[in-house]
Structure 1
């Protein structure tokens, strides 16, 4: 009913929609402000797209917040993948010592009644897409809560405006926490409610990258620091009918392993594929499940190679360079301020990005052929990095979170202000 009402309203002027939203949330907020303890629920999906670590840890240290992570299975890639990813995500949080519950019991084939068990006051989403999780956990079923979303990736695309700024969830949210001023402007231009529920906080996914007190765990196979550490991070957009065409994986899959072997004494290479790449390769005629699985496994069998399918922050911080054709990594890796190369099919690829994406694209070393990749590897080995100064300038002027603090601290402070409680940061 609510979804039909909103879709009807969005055909009228945007201010009608927002006034309805503002009235509804003002009533909810007044009711929540009377409480002394607030129940917060995070709906998690993919282990690799969880970007709330810092915020979770800030909130659990504040006794006024009772925090629970609900792992919602991803339902649109088949049952086997749904269970595999749910278990992987659950194990990740259990390993971290987090308060986590599975929303789906595979033995009983039943879904959890989150409203009954957790009684959430505030709900954080980790993905905005309708149909990714079961509808009983979608925002239309939690309109009696204060709903929030911080992007799971640093939005760089110029061709995914509807998906990234104007889905139903984006417009129904209480608050949408944004990465940069460039993204705030894009929301105003692209969303039905003109970005009226947007707050600039910085991107929570990079908090660990910029936290000077954080000491990363070294995930690399070889610990010798005279051997350069290079990440290869291919995107998932292989095959036909892709919304964007970033990936060059089929052309570079064998070549990258050849480069690792050729420069075995000088480098080690981490294969960091997008979490959806494997499922896409399973369906490609020239790949399939057996070939894909063998290829993935072969990286760990190399003396100077490794496969990384989990959290990448420590990998980034302990690396020396990255080669990619990724989406969010176009911006995220800039925060470690190390040499980074983008593989492109042609120089018109720059037009695929939004304003901040273009600026980050311009401080990448570009590879349009395999010889460019090898030249980049040699420069990394020899410590050649002429774009260092430009990366440093962009970081300082446009990418760092506001207020001189981490993005998660900005989010926490905003929640405290709205709930009329004192911030303890």
Structure 2
């Protein structure tokens, strides 16, 4: 009896395989159509629905036939059921392989069509004479890198700058928030802007495409903190430009031992870097870093200087301290902790000093402390399991409740100018605070990724401590009038950071204008 079951099942398997072959041929035809019209994506979705239904129907028929045959001929032997199970598993594996191959192929095809369409859009001759530039802003603290470039474009008749406020995800948590805060900041600065705070970022993408920008500036070159509609693969319909928001002071992959896990190309070889039309960098050494992976056209890496440094220097003499004066002027300390606690880049030491700082602030009313946390500090603490969100909120609430303490978010040039000293564990402030010629006490974690050449200069220009007792002693020493011992090292760092010559804003503005003009001329000549 069992011999009659196998032929019946084998016939069903043959029929199922034939269906799968037919569906695979249909997929091939659909994939070819995908290159002709985006409407085929709808047909592709329907195809997968049909494919799933065919799969379910086929297996249902197979199972029903096995049951019917068993009822007709009696119990099936164990060996026969094993053979049937193996045959069924083979079909499942083959079907799974087909789906994976199908999915990968469609993804590649869709990506290819999208990028081709974006490049076509980018090269359509502009109907406007002015160069339209979109500034995608998702972080207030990063705005200083854009501020002077935007301001100059407002003044230049050749440019048409448009600012857009976005949500952000701290450390790639996929929780996108903050657009309202960015919008409020831009409003306070008198900057007109479009608000892209909608949950579906592709709605904003449609608006962006309708604006037909020539250039797009995005603050972050990492994709994790950016909503899907603003990610690199979606915005290549315009020329992407990068102005770094922080100086690179850590070693890159090419600086370290081959295969080392300590080093990452995160700062210089992201998808955004590869697709960028221009990358403006602070010095010749940084330009060489970008060229190391040999994936960038040398012509797009432009040494411009660093607009953020120039913007910070304008804050000198404009100091603003958030704690009201309480009689005799107190000694003013900025405490700036990094988010990379117990992992990641490894600079953060908040977990090793937070409680001591709170106790010290309570016991030392003649010192005023302003906490300037990295925007992702809370997320970093939660991720490292140092604190829960509620515990972090409680800590910051206890800090703010002290009369000699405050928390400062947002821009910080005026804060730095009003202060007397900084405590930090890295990273950006190791190069930015020395511009103000004041003592910087750097709490060395002892477990961070290595410095590059610029990082070593910044480290040498800091007062380095490795425990809280040494940190407190150093601060009290400078409060008591001790001289700064690292003047020569700080001068060397500033020389590397501010090489002199032309304004970085002038270089950026002129390079974009010349580049767009040349491309427009070439397109018109070809037409």
The two structures have a TM-score, normalised by structure 2, of 0.68
Q: Residue 90 in 1 paired to residue 183 in 2?
A: yes
Q: CA 1:169–1:303 in structure 2 vs 1: closer, same or farther (change >3 Å)?
A: same
Aligned Cα RMSD in Å? 3.1
Alpha carbons 2:201, 2:229 under 8 Å: kept:
no
Q: CA 1:94–1:217 in structure 2 vs 1: closer, same or farther (change >3 Å)?
A: farther
More helix by share: 2
Q: Residue 287 in 1 paired to residue 387 in 2?
A: yes
State how many pairs are aligned. 392
Q: Secondary structure at the match of 1:374?
A: helix
Alignment of 1:331-350 (within 5 A): 331-346=431-446
Structure (1 or 2) with the larger CA radius of gyration: 2
Alpha carbons 1:188, 1:195 under 8 Å: kept:
yes
Q: Which residue of 2 aligns with 1:127?
A: 220
Q: Secondary structure at the match of 2:423?
A: strand
Q: Secondary structure at the match of 1:250?
A: helix
Q: CA 1:220–1:340 in structure 2 vs 1: closer, same or farther (change >3 Å)?
A: same
Alignment of 1:10-409 (within 5 A): 31=125, 35-50=128-143, 51-75=145-169, 76-79=172-175, 82-83=176-177, 85-105=178-198, 110-159=203-252, 161-190=264-293, 192-193=295-296, 195-211=298-314, 215-223=317-325, 226-239=329-342, 242-265=343-366, 267-346=367-446, 352-384=450-482, 385-395=484-494, 397-405=495-503, 407-409=504-506
CA distance in 1, matches of 2:212, 2:486: 51
CA distance in 1, matches of 2:329, 2:345: 38
CA distance in 2, matches of 1:146, 1:36: 16
Cα deviation, 1:356-390, whole Å, max 9, x if unaligned, reads 11111111111111121112111221232111232
Q: CA 1:138–1:295 in structure 2 vs 1: closer, same or farther (change >3 Å)?
A: same
CA distance in 2, matches of 1:225, 1:203: 38
CA distance in 2, matches of 1:73, 1:125: 12
* Alpha-carbon shift at residue 215 of structure 1 (Å): 5.0
Q: CA 1:118–1:215 in structure 2 vs 1: closer, same or farther (change >3 Å)?
A: farther
Cα deviation, 1:367-424, whole Å, max 9, x if unaligned, reads 11112111211122123211123212331x311154242x233312322333459xxx
CA distance in 2, matches of 1:115, 1:286: 40
Q: Secondary structure at the match of 1:163?
A: coil
CA distance in 2, matches of 1:144, 1:226: 55
Cα deviation, 1:254-294, whole Å, max 9, x if unaligned, reads 111233233322x2111111111112223454521221101
Q: CA 1:191–1:88 in structure 2 vs 1: closer, same or farther (change >3 Å)?
A: farther
* Alpha-carbon shift at residue 110 of structure 1 (Å): 4.8
* Alpha-carbon shift at residue 4 of structure 1 (Å): 5.6
The two structures have a TM-score, normalised by structure 1, of 0.83
Q: CA 1:29–1:381 in structure 2 vs 1: closer, same or farther (change >3 Å)?
A: farther
Alpha carbons 2:247, 2:428 under 8 Å: kept:
yes
CA distance in 2, matches of 1:318, 1:176: 33
